[in-house]
Structure 1
Amino acid sequence: MIDEVAWFKIITGLIAAGMLLAGFLIIIRQYIQKRYRPSFYLAIAWLGFFLEAFFSSTRLLFDDVQSMIYFQKLSFLGLAPGFLGIMATVDSISRDSVEPRRFSMLVFILGINTFLLMLPLDEKTILIPNLIVISIGVVISNTLLVLYIRIHRNVPQPLKRLALVNVLGAMFVGVVYVFLRIVEIARPNFLPPVARVIEAIGALIQASVLSRHEQLFYVLPFKVQRLTVIDTRKGTSLYNFDWLKSDIIDQDVFSGIIQGMSMIMNESLKKGNFQEIKLEKGSVLINHDATHSLASMLIASKTSQVLHDGLAQFSRKFTRKYEEDNKDPGKSNDGHDADDLVKECFPFIPRFG
């Protein structure tokens, strides 16, 4: 027979699983629409935690020990994509790529744990993989918390409050949940078993904030300074947009320098136009439109595929906008109405100035 405490754990566990599933659906929708890698990794994490919560709760529906152990094993296996997703999220947000050595180490540890779960286990021996996943969970969740604190410290002022809410969501998962779980294990009847619901609330908060304010994904990996569109025939600037105040030289002089370098290299080497210029402390990404003699340039502290994709999209839409308005972008210096294209193509870039 299932007692009242077990039913309470089942109900709260399934509620938590539903909230984690909602968090997964929210963040995977963002990935489908905008293809941000951090949102994909975070979606994998919430899916893994959903599986863990679901199997861990449903195991209490069974009376026989072997069925309970089987579903507990499934819950531990569900944590593998959860942990890997969180680690990949941390790396992609902090450095825009996955750190292979740390990721390989986590895969190795999870592989050992999976091997142990394949063995016949009883109520005592299953404590070994249980301790492994608890240890990994504490480290992973607090790593994510530290990352969100770093984001909060570095975001521009308009995003401070949202970043703080995101930090609170991570605290629910990495601090409050862990504390309540320890209390539940040490003193089973001291507090109602609501730790899993607290964890799910924290996950849902994170998914909701990050799905609506994707700028938080890209505060740390790079800083974008300026977007410039130039007329490659005249070497003059047609449009400029700044995310970060800077002391860049006159925009037309800068455009002329870039255009002159591109022409010299193209004529000398016959290898085409510049696509990217790497500097000691930054990069200049360039997208050429030979049909209209235009080049769109993005100045950033570091190159990234998401920046390349955004620049290519902006270049296409900038040209199309002027074609629809029956204008020649090479003969117009009024590009202020392209601000809406910047918001459409670069919604993930936070503005610091």
Structure 2
Amino acid sequence: MEINWTPEVLANGIAATIVFLAVIIVFALSERKKLKSLLYFRLVFFFVGLYSIFEALSDLFLFKPIAIIGVMLLFPTAVFAIIAINYVVKDTYFSYTLLFLIAIGPVLLLLTVDLNAFVLYTGDPYTYISSTQWPLFTELFFTTFFGFSIFYWALKTYLNAPFLIKKDALIFLIGVFLAGVIAIILNIFTIFSRIFVIIALAFADIGTLIILYMVEREPKLFYILPFVVHRILVKDNNGFPLYDHDWSKSDIDEVLFSGFINAVQHMSNEIMDIGGLLDINLERGILILHHSKYITVGLVATKSSKLLRDSLM
């Protein structure tokens, strides 16, 4: 079998190496933070890495079935990306966007299984296999869907980021913009010249490295959504406040707030004494109380979520 070493093969190989490095980093982070969204982001990176490998192998061996598998790998990539974003933004896997993707995805995959739609180009600038017709549309659809969905989440994260990590959120957004939006736009231009594939991969590599650095540096980027924390207070079991931080800058001092929590706790002894969580709906948010052996933590946020509740336990 002929081996077809090209700049595109090398570029895809480098991209796959960086992406699998991302899998390792996100795996280590998910083990420390126990975030369900990180599990799905790890799967996203894994399938992106597989896609890059199959893209490289299809050109290296000039074998069309490998190219078909590569395009098909974009479907689970997009699905897991949407699930990961849903867990960060909504604290649940379901959304109508995911439902739409699952409905249309299998149809596009069936249309992709067409060897005649993968064309072998020889000569200038080098020999390669390219998708056309429905496989090309499928590839562009999934990459665009995936890239712009990730960018939407990164933008929303930046807009809702607190002041202390606003700069980190901006750098993260830039990384996503380079790896997602810019790389995808450049990839569309490959229908005019193959050199755009290498340029797109270079932007994707740079963006991915920025994303990895920021995820490792500031994992709190995954905590910004889907809630806004207004206040947290820690008190001992005698009712004395030990720590209080008020992001909302309200006029209620810690003694008054602690007294309110004491009153609520006193009226809910049966629940709190067994070490449980208590949610109290307020007019513009929710108060979450967690009682342990020595302390009680009270937290006021815009809404409750599993992530927020788990962080108190």
The TM-score with structure 2 as length reference comes to: 0.84
Structure with higher RCO (Cα < 8 A, 6+ apart): 1
Deviation of 1:98 after TM superposition, in Å, equals 2.9
Q: Which moved more, 1:240-249 or 1:270-279?
A: 270-279
- Kindly indicate whether residue 200 of structure 2 is the aligned counterpart of residue 161 of structure 1: no
| Among candidates 270, 273, 278, match of residue 275 of structure 1 | 278
Q: Is the 8 A contact 2:8 2:56 kept in 1?
A: yes
- % of aligned pairs identical? 22
In structure 2, what is the Cα distance between the partners aligned to 1:303 and 1:275? 11
Which runs of structure 2 are paired with 1:87-98 in the superposition (5 Å)? 87-98=82-93
Over aligned residues, Cα RMSD in angstroms?
A: 2.8
2:206 equivalent among 196, 201, 204: 201
What SS does the aligned partner of 2:198 have? Answer: coil
TM-score normalised to the size of structure 1?
A: 0.75
Q: Is it true that 1:217 corresponds to 2:222 in the alignment? A: yes
Q: Where does residue 76 of structure 2 map in the other structure? A: 81
CA distance in 1, matches of 2:35, 2:277: 26
- Comparing 119-128 with 246-255, greater Cα deviation is found at 119-128
Q: Which string of whole-angstrom CA distances, capped at 9 and with x for unpartnered residues, describes residues 246-265 of structure 1?
A: 21523233333333233334
Structure 2 unmatched ranges of 5 or more: 119-130
Structure 1 unaligned residues grouped into runs of 5+: 313-353
Query: Corresponding residue for 2:13?
Result: 14
Query: How far did 1:240 drift?
Result: 2.0
The 3 A distance-change label for structure 1 pair 254 and 165 is closer
- The equivalent residue for 1:306 is 307
1:192: Cα distance to partner?
Answer: 7.2
Q: In the alignment, is residue 295 of structure 1 matched against residue 283 of structure 2?
A: no
Kindly indicate whether the alpha-carbon contact (under 8 Å) linking 2:117 and 2:135 is maintained by their aligned counterparts in 1: no
String of CA shifts for 1:192-236, please: whole Å, max 9, x gaps: 73322322332232122123211222223112233223344x4x2
- The question of 1:146 aligning with 2:152 is answered yes
Structure 1 192/55 Cα, relative in aligned 2: closer, same or farther at 3 Å?
closer
Query: Offset of 1:47 from its aligned partner?
Result: 0.9
CA apart distance, 1:73: 1.9
Q: What SS does the aligned partner of 2:242 have?
A: strand
How is 1:1-353 mapped onto 2 (pairs within 5 angstroms)? 1=2, 7-63=6-62, 68-117=63-112, 119=113, 121-123=115-117, 127-188=133-194, 193-232=198-237, 234=238, 236-242=239-245, 244-247=247-250, 249-266=252-269, 275-289=278-292, 291-292=293-294, 294-312=295-313
Residue identity in the other structure for 1:171: F
Aligned AA (1:305): K
User: SS in structure 1 opposite 2:249?
Assistant: coil
Does the 8 Å CA contact 1:51/1:79 hold for their aligned counterparts?
Answer: no
Computing the radius of gyration from Cα coordinates, the structure with the larger value is 1
